[in-house]
Amino acid sequence: MLLSQLGMRSIVFISLVLAIAMIAPGAVQVTEDNTRTIPALDSTNITYCEVSACGYIEGLGLEVVGEPIVTEDEFGTRVSVQVVNRDRSVGQREFWAELRTQEGAFVEAMRGQLVLTDQGPQFIEFFFTGSAPEFTGLLMDLGY
């Protein structure tokens, strides 16, 4: 039956239908990936939370985990805040941070960028002009 002309046509037709059916899930995935972009920062409406208390940020699909990682070099201090991309969003987003003393006095404001991918560790990178020991005594509020 498969060696006849009718059998060969049937196999080609079934293969074509299967190939088209296998393309549909890929098209659906591409459509979903394009709708999972993270919204841009609205500078007129910024919400701040203390980094250690932020947790899951509703609306962004991000969860702030752990304490900031502080690294000092000859130009200043790099502060990295790790986030988990719970909604698997993609894109780039700006964040702000404010540093305050334990008494609440303003010290410095920083702007950071987050480039989201759907895998791997994600970090918001900030730059602090002071030293690492100066940073350790300050409270950091994350603005989103």
Predicted confidence (pLDDT) at residue 83 exceeds the cutoff of 90:
yes
Contacts of 33 (CB under 8 A, 6+ apart): 90, 118
Binned at pLDDT 50, 70 and 90, residue 36 comes out as low
What is the H or E stretch that residue 138 is in?
none
What pTM was estimated for this model as a whole? 0.69
How high is the pLDDT of residue 106? 94
Residue with tokens 């203390």: 50
How high is the pLDDT of residue 126? 95
Binned at pLDDT 50, 70 and 90, residue 105 comes out as very high
